[in-house]
């Protein structure tokens, strides 16, 4: 019944720009829009796959995982070809835009700098904000398009007054609102998320029924420019200054071992530390002044508060909240969410006070605010105090 509803022709045909990564989700969105009678143009962003600066290209390209058909599963030239093949199959034009310089400046360079600063960044949030939605919406406007459609799993709900709310996807396992919290109200009003009401299995089946080359394509779970999750290799290549050996110490200051650089560690890390204490110990904090990785028991990772900055709300450009408000906060994409009170400090920073202590609140990660299924916005975690459990 759902699939039938998805294929019904729209009452009004729109001119739609579809952002196509070359994967199954965005490919099906483009095909669906075409099936529904819309005037579709597909566009794929060429970001890092051909040149990122020196030897990193070869290393990343060779280490991309390959599926049974021999196709790379991260952002590569095969993805560009697959997106174009979908356009030919469904009969709509497909273009490739060179966003390589923008991607390096806004995503890769920021990613590297965050680790050098002792933070754990979220490049997917930065990519959506700086590379995908803002410039692509401008491109859509320049082409005279009514909407920009993407393959993100999220839903949009429009109030009688025209306000658009960003809602979690029907399939909670695929929900991507955490990575979309920086979308503003004008952007939301120009977007389409056709997969918000669908299950992944339905998308694959519908893609197969249409004969799309991407129907059985494997998903890559890695950051596109970080093969197999080894961000250390990226840092060693692009920022050799990240290698700054120092001490690994416990909470009392006792030396437990040596590290190769603070940038290669993150709050909550337990594996790959090269220390043996007879009990499970975790990275509690990174002391940049002393160049020390501080270890401790899991209990030391708990904190009830965090300072946040760079807040963004899906109601913008309306005014930000000026008084405290309650919400559920996800402090990482896999976090289930925790009830908290968010209070503006008046200096561009915000305090989140959780009802219950949270584990491994990590500076640099996004804290995303929810009211039920609605994503209200979010902010970047700036600091927390793991020892006293308050900021």
Percentage of the chain exceeding pLDDT 90: 75
- The Cα 32–Cα 273 span in angstroms is 48
Task: Look at strands 246-249 and 292-296 and give their pairing.
Answer: parallel
Are 108 and 216 within one domain? Answer: yes
In a domain, 24, yes or no: yes
The total domain count for the chain is 3
Question: How crowded is residue 363: how many other Cβ atoms within 10 Å of its Cβ?
Answer: 22
Q: Which residue has the tokens 């009401």?
A: 197
Of 53-57, 191-195, 249-253, give the lowest mean pLDDT range. 53-57
8 A C-beta contact, residue 166 and residue 356: no
Confidence of residue 320 (pLDDT cuts 50, 70, 90): confident
Are 92 and 216 within one domain? Answer: yes
Are 223 and 345 within one domain? Answer: no
Are 133 and 270 within one domain? Answer: no
Are 340 and 217 within one domain? Answer: no
Q: What is 115-142 written as a DSSP string? A: HHTT----HHHHIIIIIIIHHHHHHHHH
Which of 256, 280, 296 is the last residue in one of the domains? 296
The structure's pTM equals 0.88
127 catalytically annotated: yes
Q: Report whether pLDDT(390) > 50.
A: no
Are 371 and 320 within one domain? Answer: yes
Non-local CB neighbours of 147 within 8 Å, separated by 6+ positions: 14, 15, 16, 17, 140, 190, 191, 192
> Which of the following is catalytic: 75, 124, 145, 224?
224
Are 29 and 62 within one domain? Answer: yes
> Which of the following is catalytic: 64, 74, 124, 127?
127
Sheet holding 282-287, edge to edge: 255-259, 246-249, 292-296, 282-287
CATH code for position 283:
2.30.30.280
Structural domain for 25, as ranges: 12-151+194-228
In a domain, 178, yes or no: no
**Strand intervals (E) in 193-268:** 246-249, 255-259
- The Cα 359–Cα 355 span in angstroms is 13
Distance of CA 390 to the CA centre of its chain: 27
Are 83 and 223 within one domain? Answer: yes
pLDDT mean over 234-246: 93
Q: What is the pLDDT of residues 268-314, one digit of tens each?
A: 998 878 887 778 899 999 999 999 999 999 999 999 999 999 999 99
In a domain, 82, yes or no: yes
Q: Report whether pLDDT(257) > 70.
A: yes
**Residue closest to 134 by CA, chosen among 186, 195, 193:** 186
Are 45 and 126 within one domain? Answer: yes
Confidence of residue 221 (pLDDT cuts 50, 70, 90): low
- The Cα 180–Cα 362 span in angstroms is 19
327 catalytically annotated: no
């Amino acid at each position: 019944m759902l699939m039938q509803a998805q294929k019904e022709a729209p009452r009004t045909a729109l001119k739609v720009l579809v952002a196509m990564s070359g994967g199954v989700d965005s490919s099906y969105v483009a095909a669906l829009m075409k099936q529904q009678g819309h005037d579709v143009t597909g566009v794929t962003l060429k970001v890092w796959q051909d040149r990122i600066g020196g030897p990193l290209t070869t290393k990343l390209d060779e280490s991309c995982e390959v599926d049974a058909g021999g196709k790379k599963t991260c952002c590569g030239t095969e993805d560009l070809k697959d997106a174009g093949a979908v356009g030919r199959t469904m009969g709509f034009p497909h273009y490739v835009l060179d966003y390589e310089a923008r991607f390096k400046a806004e995503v890769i360079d920021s990613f590297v700098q965050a680790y050098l600063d002792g933070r754990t960044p979220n490049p997917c949030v930065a990519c959506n904000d700086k590379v995908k939605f803002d410039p692509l919406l401008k491109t859509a406007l320049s082409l005279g398009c009514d909407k920009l459609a993407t393959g993100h799993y999220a839903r949009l709900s429009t109030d009688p007054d025209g306000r658009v709310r960003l809602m979690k996807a029907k399939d909670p396992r695929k929900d991507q609102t955490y990575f979309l919290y920086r979308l503003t109200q004008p952007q939301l009003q120009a977007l389409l998320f056709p997969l918000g009401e669908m299950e992944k299995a339905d998308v694959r089946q519908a893609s197969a029924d249409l004969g799309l080359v991407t129907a059985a394509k494997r998903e890559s779970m890695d950051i596109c420019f970080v093969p197999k999750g080894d961000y250390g290799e990226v840092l060693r290549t692009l920022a050799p200054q990240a290698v700054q050996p120092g001490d690994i110490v416990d909470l009392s200051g006792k030396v437990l071992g040596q590290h190769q650089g603070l940038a290669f560690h993150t709050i909550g890390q337990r594996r790959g530390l090269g220390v043996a204490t007879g009990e499970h110990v975790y990275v509690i904090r990174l002391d940049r002044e002393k160049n020390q990785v501080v270890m401790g028991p899991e209990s030391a990772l708990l904190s009830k508060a965090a300072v946040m900055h760079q807040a963004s709300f899906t109601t913008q450009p309306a005014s930000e909240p000026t008084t405290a408000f309650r919400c559920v906060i996800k402090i990482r994409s896999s976090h289930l969410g925790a009830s908290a009170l968010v209070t503006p400090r008046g200096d561009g920073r915000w305090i989140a006070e959780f009802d219950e202590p949270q584990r491994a609140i990590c500076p640099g990660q996004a804290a995303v605010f929810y009211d039920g299924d609605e994503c209200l916005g979010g902010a970047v975690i700036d600091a927390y105090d793991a020892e006293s459990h308050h900021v």
